[in-house]
Structures are given as structure tokens and as C-alpha cells.
């Protein structure tokens, strides 16, 4: 279980960014974190990854304190961040340098097949579309079989069709993985949060804290046109609306 206790973050010792976050994410659960700009959701995710250190409080994975990147935690960033000098297959196998080549190749092929890019192992990153590149980034994070996969606005740079396709694809991969990984997704897209998550964490700014946590009791697989989708979406929107700072 991923637990966050009284998490605080202050930039430059004066600007509070996170003001006491408490959250527990069950194994195999999908949690979406939504909120307006500057509510600290990306900072929270970076601390969960171990890329940033908190000013106070702790992050634990099954009791183990996370202070730096951990092999059981994978991350997908907003941009694919592929290494342009490596082929798609080499990018995916980047975190498997310790394995013998044959074992590495086997795992890379398997995970590329899971993201639907089995035939692109030899391609260069520059030859991929935005959606394909982000799928390679997901494959690179999945290849080490992380128990927790953190995604920082992973589809926000993609067009609406590709985004919906990749959301479905991510759910498909999640459902087929045994045991199912824990997913924590930061997004500013409420539809995305509702289609993906078991629970939506709504954050509010100044300093960033949790305004509300809403369960999404929709059955899986979900459809954007299903009954109940609009209702769930509406509930999240309503809370979000209350947290947004108003001018005047």
C-alpha cells in the first residue's frame, strides 16, 4: 500500500506548495489527482516518485519510506522523454541493463506487444507519432514490472482521439497485468479522471491540499457514453469549481 502522511513541501523555505496531504492508495487501485494549475499535484507526484524530497511528512510503500526513485515505482511523464539515440526497443530496455541480453530482449518484446508496438522495436523515436512515443514511454516504465505506476498528465499533449484511445489502452494493460499495478494519475482532464479512476482526489491551491476524495462507482470496462458517467463527472466538476480561486 502507498501511504502519504502529513506531506508538506515548501519552495525556497518560504512558499508553501503542499500543505499537509494524507492519502492511502490500495494495491491495484487507480487514483486520479485533479486540480487547477498551481495546486501542487505535479509536485505531489514528483515526491511520490522520489524525484523531489518533502519538507515534512512521509511517503511509504508497504512501510518503506520513499526518499529517492525506487525500483517498485515507475513513472510516465507528460512528455515521452525517449532517448533519441536509442531505438524504440533499446529505450524500452533501458532499465534492464542488468539482465543478460536474451532475457532483456524477451521482456522488451513482450512489453512492446502489450502496448501494441511489437513491430516498431527497430524504429527511432523521431519516426514515431506522439501517441506511439507515449506508448513507448509507458512500455519503458512497465518493463521493470513496477507495483506502482505514476503518470504525470501523460496524455495531455495528445489530440482528443489519441488521448481516448490511450486511456482505454492503459486500462486494458492494467486489467491484464497480474497482479494489477497501482496507478496514480495526475490530470487536469476531469473526463480522463472519471474514465480511469476508482477514486478521484480533488486538490485545491494555496497551499496545495486535498479538497475532497470522490469514489467513482462505475463498472469496468467503462464507456464515456454510459449512464452514470455524466453524473460522476458532474460531481467532480462541482467540487473542483468550489476550489478554483475566483477573480474579484
Partner 1 sequence: MADLSLSTPTPAPRRALPLGALWGLALPLGVALVWEAVVALGWNSGRLLPAPSVILLTLHDLWVRGDLAGHIGITLWRVALGFVFGTLAGTALGALTGYARPAARLLDPTLQALRAIPSIAWVPLFILWFGIFETPKVTLIAVGVFFPVYLGVMAAIQSVDRKIVEVGRVFRLTGPELVGRILLPAILPAYVTALRAGLGLGWMFVVAAEFMGASQGLGYLLVDGQQLGKPAQIVAAIVSFAVLGKATDSLLALAAAPFLRWEDGFAKRRES
- Contact residues toward partner 1 (CB under 8 A) are 49, 51, 68-69, 71, 74-75, 77, 79, 81, 83-87, 89-90, 93-95, 97, 101, 104-105, 108, 121-122, 124-126
Nearest distance in Å: CB 123, partner 1? 8
Helix (H) or strand (E) holding 75: strand 73-76
| Nearest residue (CB) to partner 1, 129 versus 223 | 129
| Percent helix, percent strand, percent coil in the chain, to nearest 5 | 35, 25, 40
- Measured from the CB atom, the residue of 11 and 83 that comes closer to partner 1 is 83
DSSP state of 180: P
- Residues with Cβ within 8 Å of 180's Cβ and at least 6 positions away in sequence, in order, are 27, 28, 174
Q: Which is nearer to partner 1, 41 or 140 (CB)?
A: 140
Determine contact, residues 139/115, Cβ cutoff 8 Å. Answer: yes
Q: How far is the CB of 83 from partner 1 (least distance, A)?
A: 7
State the nearest-atom distance from the C-beta of 240 to partner 1, in Å. Answer: 28
Q: What is the distance in angstroms between the CA of the first residue and the CA of the last residue of the chain?
A: 43
Length of the chain measured in residues: 248
Least spacing, CB of residue 97 vs partner 1, in Å? 6
| Beta carbon nearer to partner 1, 104 or 135 | 104
Amino acid at each position: 500500500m502507498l501511504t502519504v502522511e502529513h506531506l508538506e513541501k515548501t519552495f525556497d523555505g518560504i512558499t508553501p506548495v503542499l500543505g499537509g496531504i494524507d492519502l492511502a492508495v490500495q494495491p491495484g487501485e487507480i487514483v486520479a489527482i485533479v486540480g487547477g494549475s498551481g495546486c501542487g499535484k505535479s509536485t505531489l507526484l514528483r515526491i511520490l516518485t522520489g524525484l523531489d524530497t518533502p519538507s515534512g511528512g512521509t511517503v511509504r510503500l508497504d512501510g518503506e519510506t520513499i526518499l529517492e526513485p525506487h525500483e517498485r515505482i515507475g513513472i510516465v511523464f507528460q512528455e515521452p522523454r525517449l532517448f533519441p539515440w536509442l531505438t524504440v526497443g533499446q529505450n524500452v530496455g533501458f532499465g534492464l541493463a542488468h539482465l543478460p541480453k536474451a532475457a532483456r530482449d524477451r521482456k522488451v518484446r513482450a512489453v512492446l506487444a502489450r502496448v501494441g508496438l511489437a513491430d516498431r522495436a527497430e524504429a527511432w523515436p523521431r519516426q514515431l507519432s506522439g501517441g506511439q512515443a507515449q506508448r513507448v514511454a509507458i512500455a519503458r516504465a512497465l518493463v521493470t514490472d513496477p507495483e506502482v505506476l505514476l503518470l504525470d498528465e501523460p496524455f495531455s499533449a495528445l489530440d482528443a482521439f489519441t488521448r481516448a484511445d490511450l486511456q482505454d489502452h492503459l486500462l486494458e494493460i492494467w486489467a491484464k497485468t497480474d497482479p494489477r499495478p497501482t496507478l496514480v494519475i495526475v490530470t487536469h482532464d476531469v473526463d480522463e479522471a472519471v474514465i480511469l479512476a476508482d477514486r478521484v482526489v480533488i486538490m485545491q491551491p494555496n497551499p496545495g491540499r486535498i479538497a475532497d476524495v470522490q469514489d467513482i462507482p462505475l463498472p469496468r470496462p467503462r464507456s464515456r457514453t454510459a449512464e452514470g458517467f455524466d453524473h460522476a463527472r458532474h460531481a467532480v466538476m462541482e467540487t473542483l469549481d468550489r476550489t478554483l480561486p475566483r477573480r474579484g
